[in-house]
Amino acid sequence: MFRNSVAQISKRSFTSSGARSYFAKAQFLGRIGADIEESVSANGKRYVRYPIAVQTNKDYPVNWFNIVAFSEKQVDFLTNYVKKGSLVHVDAAITQDSYEREDGSKASNIAFVQTKLDLLSSPKSEPEA
Protein backbone atom coordinates (compact mmCIF):
# COMPACT_ATOMS: atom_id res chain seq x y z
CA MET A 1 0.00 0.00 0.00
CA PHE A 2 2.75 2.45 0.92
CA ARG A 3 4.64 1.64 -2.30
CA ASN A 4 1.59 2.50 -4.44
CA SER A 5 1.07 5.86 -2.76
CA VAL A 6 4.74 6.80 -3.32
CA ALA A 7 4.43 5.84 -6.97
CA GLN A 8 1.37 8.05 -7.31
CA ILE A 9 3.10 11.02 -5.69
CA SER A 10 6.19 10.73 -7.88
CA LYS A 11 4.24 10.77 -11.16
CA ARG A 12 4.93 13.86 -13.23
CA SER A 13 2.05 16.00 -14.35
CA PHE A 14 1.94 17.40 -17.86
CA THR A 15 -0.52 19.80 -19.31
CA SER A 16 -1.88 20.11 -22.82
CA SER A 17 -1.90 23.91 -22.69
CA GLY A 18 0.73 25.69 -24.76
CA ALA A 19 3.88 27.27 -23.40
CA ARG A 20 3.35 30.77 -22.05
CA SER A 21 6.49 32.18 -23.62
CA TYR A 22 9.83 31.31 -25.08
CA PHE A 23 13.05 33.09 -24.30
CA ALA A 24 16.75 33.21 -25.06
CA LYS A 25 19.15 33.94 -22.24
CA ALA A 26 22.91 34.39 -21.87
CA GLN A 27 25.25 34.68 -18.91
CA PHE A 28 28.59 36.47 -18.95
CA LEU A 29 31.40 36.46 -16.41
CA GLY A 30 34.01 39.00 -17.40
CA ARG A 31 35.45 42.48 -17.07
CA ILE A 32 33.92 45.77 -18.15
CA GLY A 33 35.95 46.99 -21.13
CA ALA A 34 35.21 50.74 -21.05
CA ASP A 35 33.87 53.42 -18.74
CA ILE A 36 30.08 53.33 -18.51
CA GLU A 37 28.42 56.14 -20.45
CA GLU A 38 24.75 56.96 -20.22
CA SER A 39 22.70 57.76 -23.32
CA VAL A 40 19.12 58.81 -23.95
CA SER A 41 16.94 57.17 -26.62
CA ALA A 42 14.80 59.08 -29.13
CA ASN A 43 11.77 58.59 -26.84
CA GLY A 44 13.65 59.97 -23.81
CA LYS A 45 14.49 56.68 -22.07
CA ARG A 46 17.87 56.46 -20.33
CA TYR A 47 20.12 53.50 -21.14
CA VAL A 48 23.74 52.40 -21.07
CA ARG A 49 25.72 50.29 -23.50
CA TYR A 50 29.02 48.73 -22.48
CA PRO A 51 31.50 46.07 -23.66
CA ILE A 52 32.38 43.05 -21.56
CA ALA A 53 35.52 40.95 -22.09
CA VAL A 54 35.18 37.21 -21.54
CA GLN A 55 38.08 34.76 -21.67
CA THR A 56 37.21 31.12 -21.04
CA ASN A 57 40.83 30.03 -20.66
CA LYS A 58 44.14 31.93 -20.61
CA ASP A 59 45.18 30.00 -23.74
CA TYR A 60 42.15 31.24 -25.70
CA PRO A 61 41.53 34.69 -27.16
CA VAL A 62 39.34 37.25 -25.40
CA ASN A 63 35.76 37.49 -26.67
CA TRP A 64 34.02 40.87 -26.55
CA PHE A 65 30.26 41.30 -26.21
CA ASN A 66 28.21 44.50 -26.17
CA ILE A 67 25.57 44.70 -23.44
CA VAL A 68 22.75 47.23 -23.13
CA ALA A 69 20.76 48.06 -19.97
CA PHE A 70 17.45 49.95 -19.92
CA SER A 71 16.22 49.57 -16.33
CA GLU A 72 16.39 52.87 -14.39
CA LYS A 73 17.85 51.10 -11.33
CA GLN A 74 20.43 49.29 -13.44
CA VAL A 75 21.42 52.48 -15.28
CA ASP A 76 21.86 54.30 -11.94
CA PHE A 77 23.91 51.44 -10.45
CA LEU A 78 26.11 51.05 -13.51
CA THR A 79 26.87 54.77 -13.85
CA ASN A 80 27.57 55.24 -10.13
CA TYR A 81 29.44 52.08 -9.10
CA VAL A 82 30.71 50.08 -12.08
CA LYS A 83 34.00 51.16 -13.66
CA LYS A 84 36.23 49.95 -16.47
CA GLY A 85 37.98 46.77 -15.31
CA SER A 86 35.24 45.72 -12.86
CA LEU A 87 34.59 41.98 -12.69
CA VAL A 88 30.88 41.34 -13.22
CA HIS A 89 28.39 38.54 -13.73
CA VAL A 90 25.65 39.54 -16.19
CA ASP A 91 22.39 37.80 -17.04
CA ALA A 92 21.01 39.00 -20.36
CA ALA A 93 18.09 38.38 -22.65
CA ILE A 94 19.02 37.83 -26.28
CA THR A 95 17.02 39.80 -28.82
CA GLN A 96 17.24 39.98 -32.59
CA ASP A 97 16.15 43.04 -34.53
CA SER A 98 15.63 43.14 -38.28
CA TYR A 99 16.03 46.32 -40.27
CA GLU A 100 16.56 47.62 -43.78
CA ARG A 101 19.85 49.23 -44.75
CA GLU A 102 20.09 52.42 -46.82
CA ASP A 103 20.78 50.34 -49.95
CA GLY A 104 17.53 48.41 -49.40
CA SER A 105 19.10 45.15 -48.26
CA LYS A 106 17.79 43.45 -45.16
CA ALA A 107 19.97 42.95 -42.09
CA SER A 108 19.63 41.84 -38.50
CA ASN A 109 21.34 42.61 -35.22
CA ILE A 110 21.62 40.46 -32.11
CA ALA A 111 21.54 42.38 -28.81
CA PHE A 112 22.23 41.29 -25.25
CA VAL A 113 19.84 43.16 -22.93
CA GLN A 114 20.96 43.08 -19.30
CA THR A 115 18.39 41.67 -16.88
CA LYS A 116 20.68 41.32 -13.85
CA LEU A 117 24.19 42.37 -12.89
CA ASP A 118 26.34 41.27 -9.96
CA LEU A 119 29.41 43.41 -9.24
CA LEU A 120 32.06 40.92 -8.09
CA SER A 121 35.06 43.23 -7.78
CA SER A 122 36.12 46.75 -8.69
CA PRO A 123 39.50 47.82 -10.02
CA LYS A 124 41.87 49.40 -7.54
CA SER A 125 41.59 53.16 -7.36
CA GLU A 126 44.58 55.20 -8.44
CA PRO A 127 46.00 57.32 -5.60
CA GLU A 128 45.25 61.02 -5.88
CA ALA A 129 48.28 63.23 -6.45
Q: Give the per-residue pLDDT at 126.
A: 63
**Would you say residue 125 has pLDDT above 80?**
no
Number of domains in the chain: 1
In a domain, 113, yes or no: yes
Domain of 116, in residue numbers: 22-121
Task: Please count the other Cβ atoms lying within 10 Å of the Cβ belonging to residue 26.
Answer: 15
Poorest-pLDDT segment among 13-17, 73-77, 87-91, 98-102: 13-17
Is 4 a member of any domain? no
- CB neighbourhood size of 88 (10 A): 21
pTM here is 0.73
- CATH number of the domain where residue 77 is located: 2.40.50.140
Q: How many CA atoms lie within 13 A of 99 on its CB side?
A: 6
Residue 9 lies in a domain: no
